[in-house]
């Protein structure tokens, strides 16, 4: 069996399509079920499993036949779930801060001052880089979810999250520079 293992690992390293197909067929459903048990979200689970195979493919030259590929795949699935959870948690905190700031903004200003600040904020949004502005507008003005935006723009959810984070940082920095 050890000799078969070494040959299989070598086939993966040499991009043998049959070996990769065999690997995906053997583990994709199992990893999906495992990821689903962790996240309880079909889309997240699917993304995690896909990323596990992408990561393995990208690091295929470091595959060592002494170590269990099955263990690596399950550990990678778990690690990607944890990373995803942490990012989602930090994004929800960022959104919470955004809405808290908006609430303070609305309650602490009179009508005329409020109108000026809204116009200033819209002007600041217009100065954002094009893609970042587009993602931010779809999210905050149109109320679309990150997944919906990723499908519309044909980018990953992580890219959408990155643009939103970047928009918040740039807007906060520009607003602070104006003593907003």
Give burial (CB, 10 Å; 0-12/13-18/19+) of 48.
buried
Tens digits of residue pLDDT in 127-143:
999 999 999 889 888 88
Tell me: pLDDT of 1 over 50: no
CA distance 91 to 87: 6
CA-only gyration radius of the chain, Å: 22
Write down the number of H helices and E strands in the chain: 8, 0
29 pLDDT tier (thresholds 50, 70, 90): very high
- From-to residues of CATH 1.10.1740.10 in the chain: 2-84
The 10 Å Cβ neighbour count of residue 134 is 16
| 30-39, 94-103, 138-147: segment of lowest average pLDDT | 94-103
Domain over 2-84 is classified CATH 3.40.50.620: no
- From-to residues of CATH 1.10.10.10 in the chain: 109-177
Tens digits of residue pLDDT in 143-165:
888 888 999 999 998 999 999 98
* The token pair that represents 3 in the structure block: 């000799």
Instruction: Pick left, alpha or beta for residue 172 (phi over 0 → left; psi -120 to 50 → alpha; otherwise beta).
Output: alpha
Fold of the 109-177 domain: Arc Repressor Mutant, subunit A (1.10.10)
* The token pair that represents 177 in the structure block: 């520079």
70 pLDDT tier (thresholds 50, 70, 90): confident
134: Cα within 13 Å, side-chain hemisphere: 11
Is the pTM for the entire model greater than 0.85?
Answer: no
Predicted pLDDT of residue 40: 82
């Amino acid at each position: 069996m050890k000799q078969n293992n070494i040959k299989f690992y070598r086939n993966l390293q040499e991009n043998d399509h049959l070996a990769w197909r065999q690997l995906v067929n053997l583990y994709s459903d199992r990893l999906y079920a495992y990821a689903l048990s962790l996240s309880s979200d079909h889309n997240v689970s699917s993304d995690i499993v896909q990323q596990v195979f992408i990561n393995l493919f990208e690091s295929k030259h470091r595959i060592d036949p002494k170590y269990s590929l099955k263990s690596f795949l399950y550990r990678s699935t778990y690690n990607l779930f944890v990373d995803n959870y942490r990012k989602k948690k930090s994004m929800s905190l960022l959104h919470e801060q955004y809405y808290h700031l908006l609430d303070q903004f609305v309650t602490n200003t009179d009508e005329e001052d409020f109108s000026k600040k809204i116009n200033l904020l819209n002007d600041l949004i217009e100065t954002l880089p094009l893609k970042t502005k587009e993602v931010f507008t779809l999210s905050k003005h149109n109320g679309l979810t990150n997944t919906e935006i990723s499908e519309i723009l044909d980018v990953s959810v992580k890219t959408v999250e990155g643009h939103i984070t970047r928009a918040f940082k740039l807007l906060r920095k520009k607003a602070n520079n104006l003593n907003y």
